[in-house]
Amino acid sequence: MASRHLADPGPRFDRKIPPSGYAWWYLDGWSEDGRHGLTIIAFVGSVFSPYYALARRRGPADPENHCALNVALYGPGGRWSMTERGRRRIRREPNRFVIGPSELVWDDSGLTIRFEEICAPIPKRLKGEVRVSFGPVLSRAFAIDGEGRHEWRPIAPMAELEVRCESPALNWRGDGYLDFNEGSEPLETAFSKWIWGRARTRDGALVLYDVARRRGAPLSLGIAIDGEGRFSSVPAPPVAASPRLLWGMPRLVWRDAGTVHRIEAKLEDAPFYSRSRIATTIGGEEVSLMHESLSLDRFGMPVVQAMLPFRMPRRG
């Protein structure tokens, strides 16, 4: 797959994003004792926003007018929030991204995320801080659409996390993963669906993608990253079906032939998206896979668009 080297390994939170385009910074992690997990996603041009989708249907839309910080805490005390904010409620600098009362700050020692949000549809306070220590910082971006309009960069696939939450009251440490995606057109223009997964391995980290592209052949991608941050391509094993969740999203899971997989935790279940933690065997090694399934055809359905504001409110 086509890729390019980046001279600047920093986050470039102030990067220029074209009309109807997007950028997001994604973090996930799990505690050392296996009881707690999280995902945090900071969006410019929120790709899952019903408000941004509506604006794009009317013509080229301003991505800065549709920003959000999605915070999801899993396990005891788990909470979820994703409030969209307009351009007057954000500030973007090279190493700092402010979204309403929350912010991301990047420095030489890592990334700090401070969040102060309100959950929906049941309002609960969500306030805390996550400190991310990177490990090897990678500087290669991959064109997952094959054309260079959509790029993915695994920034820190072997990160370490320190989580301190005031509401709910939580403190834990664990391992994590940080990546970045950006596109110069809407996500659904290039893709109909994908499955993605990442895992720590005994030698480093593994990332897998299966992408259904609207222009061109499907993409099957396997990348192994060692402890020094060196890349190598690996063949993705075959996929097997898991039981569908409440909303009927299919979940295809990578596993070596002749092995079985086990769902460790059901983390997200939406009409167009699911996230799970799955124990599986890949390349002869048993791993715990952070796994997501996405259907952009489902995302575009009118009934789904009508439901999303109840989960994703907007503060202009």
Domain ranges within the chain, ordered by starting residue = 20-185, 188-307
Q: What is the CATH number of domain 188-307?
A: 2.40.370
Write out the two tokens for 121. Answer: 């549809």
3-state secondary structure (DSSP) of residue 308: helix
Report the pLDDT value the prediction gives residue 1, as an integer from 0 to 100.
Answer: 63
Q: Output the CA–CA distances (angstroms, integers) from residue 250 to 72, 96, 120, 262, in the order listed.
A: 22, 37, 25, 15
Write out the two tokens for 222. Answer: 């396997």
For 218, residues 6+ apart whose C-beta sits below 8 A from its C-beta are 210, 211, 212
Unique residue bearing structure tokens 């074209």: 18
Write out the two tokens for 300. Answer: 């575009």
**Is residue 154 reached through a cis peptide bond, with omega within 30 degrees of 0 on the bond before it?**
no
Given a contact cutoff of 8 angstroms between Cβ atoms, the answer to whether 112 and 120 are in contact is no
CATH 2.40.370.10 is held by the domain 20-185: yes
Intrachain domains 20-185 and 188-307 with the same fold: yes
Are β-strands 79-85 and 314-315 bridged in parallel, bridged antiparallel, or unpaired? parallel
Q: Which residues of the chain are modeled with pLDDT < 70?
A: 1
